[in-house]
Amino acid sequence: MKTVAVIVLIFCFGLSTVENIKCYECRQANAKFCKGEEVECPDGSSCMTVSSNAGINHTYYSIQKRCSLNMKCNHSMYAYVNEDVYFELSIDCCDGDLCNNGGHMIKNKTYDYNGPECPACVSYDTLEVCEPVTTTICRSKTDHCNFFAGYLEKPDGVKTKFSVQGCMSEMGCLYDFSQIVGLKVSGVKTKGCKVLNLKHQPNHE
């Protein structure tokens, strides 16, 4: 009887064992796809894909795949001065073995451009915050005006001084830039976000 009981217990524990999810893991700068290696994730993880576009008079596409661990899933952020100088990032998660097998994807959204009107400028030769030369209208009412001065590192490893003012999404203001694979920021001298009044709306008579 004891032998039978032991066998039954082993069988029950075997049935209750749940294998951890497997995900692809890779990092690729200046690319829209990476396949990566199969890895087993910790308990509670999903499979994550981080896609980013960075525009510095040229668009750099980057992608990272990994286990989600404790990172927040399914959100996006952006920052921009104008159509030539901008940054967008989307973090997408899925459940199921090796489900993060797709490519680079920035979620398409329709913006109202009804947010604050922020000072705007960009400079590549100073670590001081650049002086505004124009303004830019933010995409959403929840956007913030932001400023940054530090070093920008391109995929080839070349670093350059970079200073900017413009608009940033609320999520971007909380982001630590650790997931950026393409254009990286380093040696940050100053950065921050501030809330300004919404842009002036014309009176309708």
> So what's the pLDDT on residue 18?
57
Which two tokens mark 81?
Answer: 């001065």
pLDDT at 50: 93
- pTM score, whole prediction: 0.80
DSSP tag of 198: B
AA identity, residue 152: L
The DSSP bridge pattern shows strands 117-123 and 85-94 to be unpaired
What pLDDT score was predicted for residue 4? 47
Unique residue bearing structure tokens 């980013």: 52
CB 184 within 8 A of CB 148: no
List the helix and strand counts (H, then E) for the chain. 2, 11
Contact by Cβ (8 Å): 140, 118: no
Q: What is the pLDDT along the chain (205 residues), one digit of tens a residue?
A: 555 444 444 444 444 445 789 999 999 988 999 988 999 999 989 999 999 998 888 888 999 999 998 788 898 899 999 989 999 999 999 999 999 999 999 876 788 999 999 999 999 999 999 999 999 999 999 999 999 999 988 777 888 999 999 999 998 888 766 666 777 887 889 999 998 766 544 443 3
Contact 103, 64 (CB under 8 A): no
C-alpha separations of 127 from 147, 153, 187 in Å: 12, 14, 10
C-alpha–C-alpha distance, residues 88 and 29, integer Å: 14
